[in-house]
Structure 1
Amino acid sequence: MDYRLGEFVRFVEEKREGYITRIINDEMIGVTGDDDFEIPVLASKVTRVYGRMEEGVESQVVAEKPIKPEDFILKGIHLAVITDPNKGSVVHFHIVNETSFQLLLSLNTEKNGKYKGFYAGILGGHSTVKVYTASLPELNNWPDFQFQISYYSTQETVLPEPLVFKEKFKAKDFSGAKKQVPLLKHQQGWLLRLDEDELVVDVEKLKESFFKPKEEKKEIAKPAKEVDLHIEKLRDDHQFLSNREMLKIQMDHFKKALDAAIVHKLPSIIFIHGVGNGTLRHEIQKVVSKHQQVKTFMDAHKEKFGYGATEVVLK
């Protein structure tokens, strides 16, 4: 069977068509049709819609162009999950390479201890490639994803360590606001930065920065057990601020309060972020999920805040 994820097919014996969103075995595939449900079907019972062949997942090799050393970009690799423009229940996974490196890229999935390869290829600098297609309503049946990325360039430059990124997607990963996808004009999706530097906190240096002599820096106050991040609580002129400016102010206040809680050895701290479109909640939980001084986090007092607050438990 030579069908690929993401190809658009039409049923031979029925008036039905859709995307291939799962390769079940050598004979069976899963096709998501107009009713937004994935339908198991024999591969022999569908045919390609050739005008849509470009929708499939394909590897590609790109010739490298010379770049001046000062213009060589080392960072900027993303996984973008983008909904199909014609069918919102179908999502396409794209690797976005904003760096100047060529990337030797592979995607394997794991389910029940068994791995299966879905994509392997070379992705040129400043380009994107689609590597997977899935049905969003079937998210609970998605496998675990493992991306492996090696860097390649014929030019003399700093060579980063290879990346291994593993992810088991959950519904909350798609609860936040979509963002503009780099290199894909007019496309919005959920973005994950794959080459983000790991957050490392030196507690002793953090203490030193807070407890300098008074002539150097005032001692930071112990934070409240509940920190309200609603923008109207932080700025009187919030109605004149853009969404990006408001989010930056809220995140700066959150990080300052979290650092203070660590220094003062609080067992936990609650951040009230509200429900809204979920952007602030998502950004907060993204930070604390990687923080070395955070034991765990959870929705705080649902009877009081609903899903509008996050409690962070510290080590």
Structure 2
Amino acid sequence: MKYKLGDFVRFVDEKMEGFVTRIIDDNMIGVTGEDDFEIPVLASKVTTVHGYEPAGASKSKVEEAIIATGEFKTKGVYIGVANDAKANSVVHFYIINETSFQLLASLTTDKQNSFKGEFGGVVKPQSTEKIYSAQLADLQLWPKFIFQVIYHTTHNTQPPAPLVVNEKFKAKDFSGTKKQIPLLNQQGWLIQLDEPEVIIDAQKLKESFFKSPEEKIVVEKPTSEVDLHIEKLRDDYQFLDSSEMLNIQLAHFHKALDAAIVHQLPEIIFIHGAGNGTLRHEIHKLLGKHQKVETFMDARKEKFGYGATRVVLK
């Protein structure tokens, strides 16, 4: 298969173009156009549009410079995962080199003991290279990733030991908030390969067992309206089943209600949506038994319909 996820292609027999968003088999691909619909098509019926460069493609052409000893950076090797700028269902993997070393990097995938070399090459200091692409919705089917890195420099600096990192990604790895990926100028997820060694301070560990009773847990004051829609609470909600979503929403409800009681708020509104009514029913059942709840009712219907509950606290 000569095409990769994220390639920009044009149909041979029609005035259509788009991005490769799925590799179906050796002969078929899925192409998504401006209307966001994915069309299955024979690979022989499209052609690559030359000149298109994906967002985040490495632009660094600078050779390793002579670096002053005090400025030589030895840490900062990451894998950055970012959505394609045009085909949002596709994610691209980049190796991010924030160090002053040149890196000889390799990626091999392992799918049920079937190994495939996906990338091998040099990553210059302070630069990035795209090494892999995949459908985020197919995360459960992704292979195991084997990252290998060797360090090189002409500078008078001892290189670190080679890195070998095996990673089988799960939904929780993409549950955190996206952050700015260094050197890539894109939002995404960041995994550090050269994690610093954990040094255990015995004295601090001992002190942690003898915390002063005066130390208090700071409870943040909640807003007057708490939105419990799952997409507001987790970025990875599309990978969760209904029971997991409900547990997350109820945990957030408990946390906000407890915080409202601690801060002695007179009332608080929980926005749970109408939906099938399960979350609303569970919240009302819990409120009915809570000793600190004076009463509760549907919040302003003109604003929320039947999708929110107003809770009056004692």
Fold shared by both chains (TM-score > 0.5)? yes
The 10-residue stretch of structure 1 (44-53 or 92-101) with the greater mean CA deviation from structure 2: 44-53
Say if 1:119 and 1:18 are closer, same or farther in 2 by CA, change over 3 A: farther
CA–CA separation in structure 2 for the residues paired with 1:275 and 1:56 = 27
Contact between 2:31 and 2:41, CA under 8 Å: does it hold in 1?
no
Which has the greater radius of gyration?
2
Q: Counterpart of 2:109?
A: 109
Contact between 2:99 and 2:125, CA under 8 Å: does it hold in 1?
yes
Identity between Structure 1 and Structure 2 (%): 45
Q: Counterpart of 1:305?
A: 251
Contact between 2:54 and 2:85, CA under 8 Å: does it hold in 1?
no
| 1:173 CA displacement | 2.3
| 1:150 CA displacement | 0.9
Is 1:220 matched up with 2:211?
yes
Question: Which sections of structure 2, spanning at least 5 residues, go unmatched?
Answer: 224-229, 237-243, 256-314
Question: Which sections of structure 1, spanning at least 5 residues, go unmatched?
Answer: 212-218, 239-273, 282-297, 310-315
Q: Which residue identity is paired with 2:6?
A: G
Q: Counterpart of 1:231?
A: 220
DSSP 3-state at the match of 2:70: helix
The 10-residue stretch of structure 1 (84-93 or 153-162) with the greater mean CA deviation from structure 2: 84-93
* Residues 191-230 of structure 1 mapped to structure 2, 5 A cutoff: 191-201=190-200, 205-210=203-208, 219-221=210-212, 230=219
Is 1:134 matched up with 2:134?
yes
Q: Deviations over 1:24-59 (max 9, x none)?
A: 76x436435247677665432321112325679899
CA–CA separation in structure 1 for the residues paired with 2:10 and 2:178 = 31
CA–CA separation in structure 2 for the residues paired with 1:223 and 1:170 = 40
Q: Counterpart of 2:187?
A: 188
Q: Counterpart of 2:120?
A: 120
| 1:223 CA displacement | 12
Aligned length: 241
| 1:171 CA displacement | 2.4
Contact between 1:82 and 1:188, CA under 8 Å: does it hold in 2?
yes
Q: Counterpart of 1:84?
A: 84
Q: Counterpart of 2:299?
A: none
* Residues 282-293 of structure 1 mapped to structure 2, 5 A cutoff: none
Q: Counterpart of 1:265?
A: none
Q: Counterpart of 1:177?
A: 177
Q: Which residue identity is paired with 2:9?
A: V
Say if 1:300 and 1:136 are closer, same or farther in 2 by CA, change over 3 A: closer
Say if 1:18 and 1:110 are closer, same or farther in 2 by CA, change over 3 A: farther
Contact between 1:18 and 1:31, CA under 8 Å: does it hold in 2?
no
Say if 1:107 and 1:31 are closer, same or farther in 2 by CA, change over 3 A: farther
Q: Which residue identity is paired with 1:88?
A: N
**TM-score, normalised by the number of residues in structure 2:** 0.62
| 1:165 CA displacement | 2.0
**TM-score, normalised by the number of residues in structure 1:** 0.61
Contact between 2:21 and 2:32, CA under 8 Å: does it hold in 1?
no
CA–CA separation in structure 2 for the residues paired with 1:303 and 1:127 = 40
| 1:71 CA displacement | 1.0
Q: Which residue identity is paired with 2:251?
A: F
Contact between 1:91 and 1:134, CA under 8 Å: does it hold in 2?
yes
The 10-residue stretch of structure 1 (44-53 or 68-77) with the greater mean CA deviation from structure 2: 44-53
- Cα root mean square deviation, aligned: 4.2
Q: Counterpart of 1:28?
A: 27
